[in-house]
Copies of this chain bind each other. A is one copy, B any other.
Amino acid sequence: METRELRYFVAVAEELHFGRAAQRLGIAQPPLSRAIQQLERRLGAVLLDRSRRSVALTEAGSVLLAEGRAALDAVDAAERRTRRAALSATGRPGLVLVTKASASSELLARLLAAYAAEPGAVPVDVILCGPAEQGRLLREGRADVALLHRPFDSTAGLHTEELSTEGQVVVLPAGHPLTARAHVHLADITDLPGLPLPRWPDPDGSYPPGPGPQVRDHAQLLQLVALGRACAVSPESCRTQLHADLAAVPVLDAPSVTTVIAWPPHSRSRAVAGLVRTATQLR
């Protein structure tokens, strides 16, 4: 199967309309019809149900849509990473590391410093983004490695090495009664009057129903806590970023958070391998 055929099929499968798909692909409709027929013949599978004046995916078609998207992502990633590898030999951008905007910047700083000191180190670009984008950037080859936080981020489809584990703290407005405690339990902080836990967006961008303010990032959340509108459960390391109007108390029974360095299973270029090695020797 050629990627051209796959791209054609994915376009039709997404549009469910040969004409629009052809337009999107920048070709005429007849060659597209032919290409899909040819693909179906070669696969020995009916991919589309063209009856009733409309196009629908068959079971085999929806399998090929899912698998084909992944395969196209892999091909694009190969292309991008090769381009970047070639550039890094001569010009600037070397590795691209992606992590959450709110992540423990201290660990990241130590990692970057340690790696830069290694012989043969390559310049590292850092992208900060939300958790939903991280996976996409890695899959599409726009990034090479990520710092993720289990159990929050999905590491499915990635190789990982654990870097550090830390407990969690509850962040409260300074002066809140609980801040006098040496530690609390989860039961102590659910249903705090006036201080609900926030709602994070689902992977699809929508918010689950319930009380509590909607937040998109950690800075927003801390803002809300300072305003006395929410409380937050966060990894310990966030303490270094707290302003004076916030206080943190350890939560004994909150699941501990593990920071891992993650990369696509195959793409173990010398540069990625070096960065991972540096990271694991960091402790």
Please give the residue numbers on chain A whose beta carbons come within 8 Å of chain B beta carbons, in ascending order: 1-4, 6, 43-47, 58-60, 62-64, 66-71, 73-75, 77-79, 81-83, 85-86, 88-89, 141, 156-160, 264-270
Contacts and interface: CB of A to CB of B under 8 A. Distances in A.
Nearest to A42: B79
A43 to B, nearest CB: 6
B82 A77 contact: no
Contacts of A141: 67
A79 B270 contact: no
Copies of this subunit: 2
A203 B156 CA distance: 21
A75 B58 CA distance: 19
A267 B157 CA distance: 12
A78 B64 CA distance: 6
Given A3-B2, A6-B78, A85-B45, A63 B269 contact: yes
A270 B59 CA distance: 8
A208 to B, nearest CB: 21
A265 B135 CA distance: 12
B44 A83 contact: yes
Contacts of A82: 43, 45, 47, 60, 63-64, 67
